[in-house]
Amino acid sequence: MNKTLTLVWYFYRPVMVVDLIFTAICLVSLLKIGVCFFINTLIIKALGYAAMLFYKNYFGSKTYMFYRNAGYSISRMYVYACSCDLAIYVVIIALLFSFIPQHAHLKG
């Protein structure tokens, strides 16, 4: 388990900045607009994962062989990395829940 978590961290670290940008957009939107925007943030997160996949395939695909030689498939690494990221995102939302407007708050 420790080995897997460390490898997932190594895999995720180079794309963390890309992912954090999308997470920040989601959190700011939630804090400004309200809880009704939650489903939309999941779509933004999905776009973030697509950006992460593109970035990693374009700039870091040569390192895939390291993870394969460690016995892990690349799709498995993506699933683990995205799952961990999503879990952390949900925990952050739970922690910030009292600060998130419960009704839509849009300037018109």
Partner 1 sequence: MRILKVDSVQMEYQGRKILRDVHLTCKQGEIVGLLGRNGCGKSSLLKVIFGIVKPAYSYVAIDGHAIGKGYHGNQMAYLPQDHYLPKSINIHQLAKFIVDPQLWPSFEQLPIFEICRDKKANELSSGQLRHFETMMVVHSKADFILLDEPFTHISPLQADELKEAMRNCVKTKGIIITDHQYYNILEVSDKLKLLDNGCTKHITDNEQLVSYGYLSGINR
- Smallest gap from Cβ 49 to partner 1, in A, equals 20
Restricting to residues 75-94, which ones interact with partner 1 according to CB under 8 A? none
From 7-15, 33-41, 85-93, 99-107, give the range in contact with partner 1 by CB under 8 A: 7-15
| Stretch of residues binding partner 1 (CB under 8 A), selected from 1-9, 17-25, 39-47, 89-97 | 1-9
Q: Which is nearer to partner 1, 3 or 32 (CB)?
A: 3
Backbone angles phi, psi at 57, to 5 degrees: -65, -35
> CB–CB of 29/48 below 8 Å?
no
Residue number, 9 or 97, with CB nearest to partner 1: 9
Judge contact between 86 and 45, C-beta under 8 A: yes
User: Does 101 engage in binding with partner 1 (CB under 8 A)?
Assistant: no
Q: Select the residue interacting with partner 1 from 69, 95, 99, 107 (CB under 8 A).
A: 69
Give CA–CA dist 56/74, Å, rounded: 11
What are the φ/ψ torsions at residue 35 (nearest 5 degrees)?
-65, -25
Question: What per-residue string of b and e applies to 48-70 under the rule 16 or more CB within 10 Å gives b?
Answer: bbeebeeebeeeeeeebeebeee
List residues binding partner 1 (CB under 8 A): 3, 6-7, 10, 13-14, 60, 62-66, 68-73
